[in-house]
Amino acid sequence: MPVKERESFKLYYSIGEVAEMLDVNASLLRFWEKEFDIIKPQKNAKGNRIYKDQDVKNLKLIHHLVKQRGFTLDGAKKKIKDQHKALLEKSEMIESLNHVKDMLLELKDSL
C-alpha cells in the first residue's frame, strides 16, 4: 500500500486526512495511538483529533514498519524505541525516492 503524497503543507490534519494519506481506516489510527507512545494527537474543542506534521511522520513510520515491512506491533515498538531518529530519516529518504521514481515513470509515459 503506497503512502499518498499530500498536495499542500498544513499545520494540522484531521484523522480522515491522515487515514486517506496512509490508505488505512481511521480506526486503525486510533488503535495505533493507543499502542505507540510517539503518537499524541491534540484534540480540538469538539474532541476531534488534530495531527501535527510530526505525528504524521511517526504514523508513516509505523505504517512502513507494520504494513510494508511486516513487523509485529511489538517488533515495531522495539525498533522505534531503539532507532527512532534513524528510522525517520530513512523513511523520509525512501518516500522522497519513491516520489522521484513516480515522477520519472510519469515522464517516461508521456514520451
The reported pTM is 0.75
**SS3 sequence, 27-72?**
HHHHHHHHHCCCCCCEECCCCCEEECHHHHHHHHHHHHHHHHCCCC
Residue 4 has pLDDT above 70, yes or no: no
pLDDT in tens, 45-90: 999 999 999 999 999 999 989 998 999 999 999 998 888 888 888 8
Residue 8 has pLDDT above 60, yes or no: no
Question: Between β-strands 13-14 and 49-51, what pairing exists: parallel, antiparallel or unpaired?
Answer: antiparallel
Percent of the chain clearing pLDDT 90 (strictly above): 56
Indicate the CATH number for domain 13-110.
1.10.1660.10
